[in-house]
Chains A and B, each alone.
Chain A
Amino acid sequence: MSGPGQVVRQVLFTNKAFWRNPASAFFTFAFPLMFLVIFTTLFGEDEIPVVGGVTVSVSTFYVAAISAFSVISACYTNIAISVSFQRDAGILKRIRGTPLPSWAFLLGRVVHSTIIAVILVAICALFGAAFYDAELPTRTLPAFLVTLLVGAASFSALGLAITAVIPNADASPAIVNASILPILFLSDIFIPFDNPPAWVDFVGKVFPVRHFSDAMQAAYFSPTGSGFSGVDLLVMAVWGLLGLVLAARYFSWEPRK
Chain B
Amino acid sequence: MTVAIEVRGLRKSYGDVEAVRGIDLTVESGEVFALLGPNGAGKTTTVEILEGFRRRSSGDVSVLGDDPATAGAEFRARIGIVLQSTGVDPYLTVRETVDLYGGYYPNARPVDEVVDLVGLSEKRDTRVLKLSGGQQQRLDVAIALAGDPELLFLDEPTTGFDPGARRNAWEIVRNLSSLRKTVFLTTHYMDEAQNLANRVAVISNGEIVAEGPPSTLGGRHLAATVVRFRIPAAVADVPDWGQVPASDGTFELRTDDPTRMLHDMTHWAMERDVSLEALDVSRPTLEDVYLELTHELGATAGSE
Contacts and interface: CB of A to CB of B under 8 A. Distances in A.
Given A13-B96, A17-B92, A91-B88, A99 B83 contact: no
Contacts of A100: 73, 104
Nearest to B106: A99
A195 interface: no
Q: Name which of B52, B53, B76, B87 has the most chain A CB atoms within 10 A of its CB.
A: B87
Contacts of B89: 13, 17, 91
Interface residues of B, number: 27
A7 to B, nearest CB: 12
Contacts of B104: 6, 98-100
A1 B101 CA distance: 12
Contacts of B87: 86, 89-91, 94
The size bracket of the interface on A is 20 to 34
B53 A97 contact: yes
Contact of A94 (B88, B91, B105): B88
**B76, B104, B105, most chain A CB atoms within 10 A:** B104
Nearest to A19: B91
B92 A94 contact: no
Contact of B86 (A6, A9, A16, A90): A90
Contacts of A94: 81, 83, 86-88, 143
Contacts of B86: 89-91, 93-94
Contacts of A99: 73-74, 76-77, 104-106, 147
A20 interface: yes
Nearest to A95: B104
A93 B83 contact: yes
Nearest to B153: A97
A143 B96 CA distance: 39
B133 interface: no
Closest CB pairs A-B (n = 5): A90-B86, A89-B87, A20-B91, A99-B73, A17-B91
Given A21-B91, A101-B73, A13 B100 contact: yes
Interface in A219-257: 254
Interface in A92-116: 93-94, 96-101
B123 interface: no
Interface string A11-27: 00100111011000000
